[in-house]
Structure 1
Amino acid sequence: MEISATEICREENGEMDPFNKFLQDNPEVDKVLRLLFTIIVVSIIVFIIFRVHRRLINKVHKLRKGKENLNTRMIENIFRFIVIFVAVQFVMMSSDLTRNFGQTLFQGTAVLAAIAGFAAQNTLSDILCGFMISTTKPFEIGDRIELVDNGVSGIVKDLTLRHVVLQSIDTQMYVIPNSKMNSQQIKNLSWHTDKRSVDFKFQVSYDADTDQARAVIRQAVMDSPISVPGKTGQDGNGEYADVYFLSFEEYSLVMGTTAYYLPGTPTEVFKTDINTRVKKALEANGIEIPYKYINVQMKTAAKG
């Protein structure tokens, strides 16, 4: 049995105050106020549920050492949708003003779903492909990927019910439908590893001592605070990659190495740091970095 606002608040002498008297004389206003009260209470409950759910998700991330998972992101989005849908349905069914509409909406869900499915095939396709991506996991949140078909590359920042969000090197955001991502050939540069790598090539002059150049380059990479060992040695300690003498070029000798860094470091920042350190190290050790130049000689025609 419903209890109206006019039955809750009474004065001690048993007579209603003017406000409650007004509500009793205007039942529609009473219903509107009770509906607003229900909306406020339900909104507070939904807010608390979202906060608790967010804390649980954060604890899961901490257990995973801070790495966010596609499954948790997808579950979070679905959970939010269900909570909001249930809250809206509850509010509609709680008042005479909206009960008929709520019943119609609830009973007509199947019909609405059929109509929506026909009118929004692309949307449903994106949602289903989002489930497939979160299940098969061709990439994770934080992975650096490249779409082979169109060359778009970046770090996976988010997976929603409809889209995958990529952040490119120049910090632009690409919002790509899940159906497009699911049909793309994807190159995952972070596949099953907690490190990323970049191949570097450095040119030195023919007069340079190659052993010294290799040692200087390797030490410069090791001195970088954002580079990490690429493998574990037999003694259990981390080891940095060797520097190799790769080739003879027309004007230079080419040295190459692979440097590793953690996923949280932007690639462009890592490249800048390594290139700057190697250049300064080569110059400090008197190793010339060759470059092409043109020597123009001007001749003056002889008079008479």
Structure 2
Amino acid sequence: MREVLQSTDAVGDEVNGILPSSLPTVTELALALVVLLVGWFFSKLVVRLVGRTVARRIERPSVTRTVLRGVRVAVLFVTVLVVGAILGLSGGQIFLSVTVVSAVIAVVLAPLVSSFINGFFVLADRPYEIGDMIEVTDEGHRGFVEDITMRYTKIFTLQNTFIVISNSEIQQRDVINYSAEDERTRISVAFEITYESDLEAARRHAERSARGVDNVISGGPDIRIGSARYAAAPVCTVQEYADNGVLLELFFWIEHPYKQQIARSAVHTAVRERFLDNGIEFAYPHRHHVFDDTSGVGRLAVDSRGDPDSGDETRERPSTVGGADSDTTGTSDE
């Protein structure tokens, strides 16, 4: 029993050593508030002072912003320690407070932990950067990366809206980066021409039509993608001899990826106008019905009546058409 009392007294002495001996005075509270405000504004000032140096050394906007956020958090943490000392809190109390708050955050905000981890991989792997044009393929979101944090990625879409996607979610999706290395993008349009049209002339006019469209690269050195090289000028190729005509596909490069729809529409219009001027027809479904000796037998019934006042009637009996044994039988009833 005596040992239990002694251990209880020891715990009480430790707790008393952690807790403040007296409540803070009004002066101490006011001073702590002033220090907190000064620390808040000082953290902003530090970020401004070191911002250019950090940006010049790192040369990556996303990492630069993350580092500056860490600098500000560090300044604020030191400010909290100073405020705690003014209020008479010991180091053990501050450590205990931080531990309790961290435990609460870990329990309540556990789903955010994965976002922070994936945010680290986003910053390390560099799949996209601030200012890049990306597309989340499964959702159809396309726009420019506005900000990358440890928790989320903010996208400014081409529809003038903001989309915020957590890093844990965007890491599991297919993301297309249109401006990672080179903004030049290759797109294509497909169309069919009739078999009666001049195929080589159609390909030649299609390529010339694309060259005259704004934002389309009309020529120059070949564009290299990996180990392959592609002609910079528009190229029209035969894709298939389809049921209704010859399927052609026109490939061309544009300078800016965010003008894909505009460039594609302009090329469609230019090709149509040039084809009309040069007598090249677009194909559409045709159906030709041919009847000969091998077409089978079809039966036709015609019933025509004469003048009802005269009482004459003329009827055509069923007959066969399309074959060699076709005959027509007619009768007249009075």
Give the TM-score band, short-chain normalised: 0.5 to 0.7
TM superposition shift of 1:37: 5.5
* One-letter amino acid matched to 1:242: V
SS in 2 for 1:114: helix
Whole-Å Cα distance in 2 between the matches of residues 262 and 287 of structure 1? 29
- The worse-fitting range, judged by mean Cα deviation, of 120-129 and 196-205 is 196-205
- Give the alignment partner of residue 270 of structure 1, picking from 239, 263, 266: 263
> Are 2:284 and 1:256 aligned?
no
Q: 1:31 to 1:115 in 2, by over 3 A?
A: closer
> Are 2:172 and 1:199 aligned?
no
Q: 1:284 to 1:163 in 2, by over 3 A?
A: farther
RMSD: 4.2
Q: Determine which structure has the larger strand proportion and give its number.
A: 2
Structure of larger gyration radius: 2
The residue that corresponds to 2:43 in the other structure is 46
Query: Which structure exhibits the higher relative contact order, with contacts defined as CA atoms closer than 8 Å and separated by 6 or more residues?
Result: 1
Whole-Å Cα distance in 2 between the matches of residues 183 and 115 of structure 1? 28
| Counterpart contact for 1:92–1:99, Cα < 8 Å | no
The residue that corresponds to 1:135 in the other structure is 124
Whole-Å Cα distance in 1 between the matches of residues 63 and 107 of structure 2? 24
Whole-Å Cα distance in 1 between the matches of residues 236 and 94 of structure 2? 68
TM superposition shift of 1:77: 3.0
What is the TM-score when the length of structure 1 is the normalising length?
Answer: 0.65
SS in 1 for 2:243: coil
Q: Determine which structure has the larger helix proportion and give its number.
A: 1
* One-letter amino acid matched to 1:232: P
> Are 2:176 and 1:188 aligned?
yes
SS in 2 for 1:271: helix
What is the TM-score when the length of structure 2 is the normalising length?
Answer: 0.60
Please show how residues 123-272 of structure 1 align to structure 2 within 5 Å. Answer: 123-141=112-130, 142-147=132-137, 150-155=138-143, 157=145, 158-167=147-156, 170-184=159-173, 186-188=174-176, 190=178, 193-194=181-182, 195-228=184-217, 232-233=221-222, 239-263=232-256, 265-272=258-265
The residue that corresponds to 2:274 in the other structure is 281
TM superposition shift of 1:30: 9.3
Q: 1:288 to 1:214 in 2, by over 3 A?
A: same
Q: 1:92 to 1:288 in 2, by over 3 A?
A: same
- Give the alignment partner of residue 108 of structure 1, picking from 97, 115, 119: 97
| Counterpart contact for 2:215–2:256, Cα < 8 Å | no
TM superposition shift of 1:111: 3.7
The residue that corresponds to 1:80 in the other structure is 69
* One-letter amino acid matched to 1:178: N
* One-letter amino acid matched to 2:44: F
* One-letter amino acid matched to 1:90: T
| Counterpart contact for 1:93–1:102, Cα < 8 Å | no
Paired residues in the alignment total: 259
| Counterpart contact for 1:229–1:238, Cα < 8 Å | no
| Counterpart contact for 1:169–1:267, Cα < 8 Å | no
TM superposition shift of 1:104: 4.4
The residue that corresponds to 1:298 in the other structure is none
SS in 1 for 2:150: coil
SS in 2 for 1:243: strand
SS in 2 for 1:244: strand
SS in 2 for 1:161: coil
Q: 1:118 to 1:44 in 2, by over 3 A?
A: closer
TM superposition shift of 1:116: 1.6
Whole-Å Cα distance in 1 between the matches of residues 75 and 156 of structure 2? 34
Q: 1:154 to 1:104 in 2, by over 3 A?
A: farther
Deviations 1:197-256 (A, max 9, x none): 21211233333322222122212222223123688349x997314211222233332221
| Counterpart contact for 1:206–1:252, Cα < 8 Å | yes
Segments of 5+ residues of structure 1 without an aligned counterpart are 1-26, 64-68, 295-300
